[in-house]
Amino acid sequence: MAKRILITAALIISYLGIYASHIVGGEISYDHISGNKYRIILKVYRDCYNGIPPFDNPAIVGIFNSNDSLMYTMYLTLTPSDTIKSTLNSACFVAPTNVCTEVATYSDTITLPPIPGGYTLAYQRCCRNYVIFNINNPSNSGSTDWTTIPDPSVASGNSSPRFNNYPPLYLCQGAPVKYDHSATDPDGDSLIYSICDTYDAPAAAGGITAPDPPPYVPVSWAAPYSGSYPMSSSPAMAIDPHTGLLTGTPNLIGVWVVGICVNEYRKGVLIGVHHRDFQFNVVDCPGLVVAAVPSVNQLCAGTTINFQNNSFGGTTYRWDFGVKTLTNDTSIQKTPTYAYPDTGVYNVTLVVRSASGCPDTAKATIAVYNPIRAKILSVDEQCINGDGFDFALSPYNMIGGFTKHAVYAWNFDSLAATTAASAANPATSATPSQPHVVYGDTGTYIIKLHIVDHTCTADTTTKIKVVDCRIVVPNVFSPNGDNSNQYFVVKNLNYYPGSKIKIYNRWGRIVYESDNYLNDWDGKNVSDGVYYFILNVSDGRKAIPGFVTILR
C-alpha cells in the first residue's frame, strides 16, 4: 500500500518560505563544436514554490585565464524551465507532491582562442536553503558552479562529461540507496567518480555582475561532515569510482548538500573535473520495509550456513538459496539454516513483506567452501654436512583437502635463534610439498606455510634444527671416578649410529672394540698410558685413526 510522506516535507517547505532562499544546486558543462567554437551549458536548480528571487535572466558566466584574469563575460538567456520529477528511493511510497524542484538550462556559443593553461568558466549565486543540516550558516552560503577547458596542448577540442540523470530528490530514512550517478563523455575519455566538496559564493552574488575569479572556496562544512562524508548515513554514502553507482543508507532526517565530481582522463592524463552540486531531502517513511542480507561473499565454514537477516519492517520472509538444480531450496524462516548439497558460488535472494504487503528484495552472492587447515609433517634435526630436509603436509590435518585452485607459499628461511645469516636453498616454494631443502648454516629455523584456496586461508609453522655434526675426538680422558671426563667421548658421534671403533695398546693388542660405539669406554682393566684407536664413522667416510691418553 503506497503512503504519502507529507509532514516532514511540509516542515521543510515552511522553513524555506520563511527564509526566502532558493538555490538547490547546479552544474556547468561545455561542448566543442569546431575550431575554437564552444557551446556553454549551465543548469541551475531551485525551489520552484518558494524560490525568491526567480532564475537569473540573463545568467552571467565569467571566463578566466590560467592567471585568474577575466577574459570574457557571457550573458546567457533564460529558456523555459522544467520541473524535476519528485522521486523517492522506495517503491512502497509516493514522493510528496507539494514539493517542487525546477531546473533552468542556459546555453550559448562562444569562440575561445587557444591559450596556455586553458580557461576556467564560473557562475555564482546566493543563497542556499536555510534548513540545510551539513553546512554552517547556509542562508549566507552561495553556490559556485565551475569547470575548466584544458590547454589545447593537453587535450585539443575537448567536450566535458555530463551526468545521465538527476538523483532522487527524496530519500527514505533507513532505506538503502542504489542510484546510477554515471556520466557520459562525448569524446570517450575515461571517467573516475568521487564524492567531493561543493563550492561557496559571496552572499552578494546574484548574477548581476561577473563572478569572482578563481580559486573557489568549498562551503563551510558543519562537523562532522565534509566533502567526502557529506551526510549522516550508515554505511556512509559512497560512489563506485568506475561505475558511478551511489550507495549508502541515510539515517537522519534533514536536507543535505552533496557534491559529485567526475575526473576526466585522456591517455592516463587528467584533463578536467566536472562538478555537480545538489541536495538530498531525507524524510521519514512510516512502515518502511527494507530487506537486507549481510554482504558475506566468502564463507569458509562448511556447506551448512546459518543465514543472518538484517531486514526491518517485515512480517513475512521468503528465502531462495540459489541452488539451480533444486526447487525446494527455500525457507520462510526469518533466520534460516540451509545445508548446501555441494561447495560453490550461489546467488541468494530474500523477499521481505510488510504487514500491508509492501515488498522489498535483497540479493547476495555467497561462496560456500569447506574450512581448510594444515600441519607440516615433523622433521628430525639434521647435520649441516649433507643436510636435505623434505617438507610436506600432514594428510591427517587437511579437512576436506585442498582444491586445484589452492595456492601455496612456503618460507624456509626464517631464522629463530641464531646470529648467522641463513642460507636456505630454496628459500621459498609454491608447490604443495618441497623436497631437499639445504641449509648453509646451523641454527633453529621456523618453517612457514600460507595456503589460499578460494580465498579461504590456512597458516601453519614448524621448527627444524640444523646442527654442527663434525666428529671431534679427544686426546685424553681421566676415568678416576669423579664423574668428570670419565669416558672416551667422541663429540657428535650420536649423529652416526652404528659407528665402529677398535682401541689398541702399545703392543698392538685390542683392548676394546665395538660395532656400535656409544661413547661408553671408561678404560676399565687397562693402565694409564697412550692407546691407539681406529674409528669407522657410519656415514662411510675414511677411517679416522688417532691416539688417546688415559690419565687417572
Nearest-angstrom CA–CA distance, 377 and 462: 8
Distances (CA, A) of 200 to 209, 216, 224, 380: 16, 7, 18, 73
Q: Is the pLDDT of residue 19 over 50?
A: no
CB-based contact 496:537 (threshold 8 Å): yes
Cis bond leading into 426, ω under 30°?
A: yes
Tell me if residue 325 falls in helix, strand or coil.
coil
Chain position carrying cell 661413547: 519
Beta bridge partners of 84: 101
pLDDT in tens, 246-255: 999 999 999 9
Q: What is the pLDDT of residue 297?
A: 60
| Mean pLDDT within 325-334 | 95
CB-based contact 393:401 (threshold 8 Å): no
At 5, the pLDDT band (50, 70, 90 cuts) reads very low
User: Can you read off the three cell numbers belonging to residue 423?
Assistant: 642460507
User: Can you read off the three cell numbers belonging to residue 64?
Assistant: 578566466
pLDDT in tens, 353-403: 988 788 888 899 898 888 888 889 888 888 887 778 999 988 655 555 687
Q: Is the pLDDT of residue 207 over 60?
A: no
Question: Left if phi > 0, otherwise alpha if psi is -120 to 50, otherwise beta: which for 442?
Answer: beta
User: Hey, which of 17-26, 200-209, 314-323 has the most confident mean pLDDT?
Assistant: 314-323
Q: What is the pLDDT of residue 393?
A: 86
Q: Is the pLDDT of residue 50 over 90?
A: no
At 49, the pLDDT band (50, 70, 90 cuts) reads low
pLDDT in tens, 59-80: 999 999 999 999 999 999 988 7
| Mean pLDDT within 221-236 | 96
Per DSSP, 211 falls in state P
452: exposed, middle or buried (C-beta count within 10 Å: 0-12, 13-18, 19+)?
A: middle
Whole-number percent of the chain with pLDDT over 90: 56
Q: What is the pLDDT of residue 202?
A: 83
Pick the CATH number of 3-283 from 3.10.105.10, 3.20.20.70, 3.50.30.30, 2.60.40.60: 2.60.40.60
The least confident of 88-92, 444-448, 458-462, 503-507 is: 88-92
Q: What is the pLDDT of residue 469?
A: 87
pLDDT in tens, 403-452: 788 899 999 876 654 444 557 888 889 998 999 998 888 888 899 999 99
Q: What is the pLDDT of residue 6?
A: 35
H-type alpha helices, 20-152: none
Architecture per CATH, domain 382-467, reads as Sandwich (2.60)
| Mean pLDDT within 461-474 | 91
Q: What is the pLDDT of residue 9?
A: 39
Buried b (16+ CB within 10 A) or exposed e, 52-66: eeebbeebbbbbbbe
**476-550: in CATH 2.20.28:** no
User: Can you read off the three cell numbers belonging to residue 454?
Assistant: 578460494
Q: Is the pLDDT of residue 83 over 80?
A: no
User: Can you read off the three cell numbers belonging to residue 508?
Assistant: 698392538
Q: Is the pLDDT of residue 14 over 60?
A: no
Q: Is the pLDDT of residue 86 over 80?
A: no
Q: Is the pLDDT of residue 110 over 90?
A: yes
| Mean pLDDT within 105-119 | 96
| Mean pLDDT within 217-239 | 96
Q: Is the pLDDT of residue 193 over 50?
A: yes
State the DSSP H helix or E strand holding residue 466, giving kind and residue range, or none if neither: strand 456-467
Q: Is the pLDDT of residue 206 over 70?
A: no
Own/partner contacts of 427-431, CB < 8 Å, gap of 24 or more, are none
If one compares 470 and 490, the residue with the highest pLDDT of the two is 490
Q: What is the pLDDT of residue 441?
A: 83
Whole-number percent of the chain with pLDDT over 70: 87
CB-based contact 335:311 (threshold 8 Å): no
CB-based contact 381:467 (threshold 8 Å): yes
Nearest-angstrom CA–CA distance, 101 and 107: 20
Q: What is the pLDDT of residue 374?
A: 86
Q: Is the pLDDT of residue 96 over 90?
A: no
Listed in order, the ranges of the chain carrying CATH 2.60.40.60 are: 3-283
What's the maximum distance between 2 C-alpha atoms anywhere in the chain?
129
Over the chain, what is the mean pLDDT?
Answer: 86
Listed in order, the ranges of the chain carrying CATH 2.60.40.10 are: 298-368
At 89, the pLDDT band (50, 70, 90 cuts) reads low
pLDDT in tens, 263-315: 999 999 999 999 999 999 898 877 778 788 876 666 788 889 999 898 888 89
Q: What is the pLDDT of residue 475?
A: 95
User: Hey, which of 123-132, 347-356, 540-549 has the most confident mean pLDDT?
Assistant: 540-549
Q: Is the pLDDT of residue 105 over 90?
A: yes
Q: Is the pLDDT of residue 204 over 70?
A: no
- The answer for residues whose C-beta is within 8 angstroms of residue 93's C-beta and 6 or more apart is 2, 3, 4, 5, 172, 285, 288
Q: What is the pLDDT of residue 99?
A: 60
At 97, the pLDDT band (50, 70, 90 cuts) reads low
Cis bond leading into 235, ω under 30°?
A: yes
Query: What CATH fold (topology level) applies to the domain 298-368?
Result: Immunoglobulin-like (2.60.40)
| Mean pLDDT within 218-228 | 96
Q: What is the pLDDT of residue 95?
A: 58
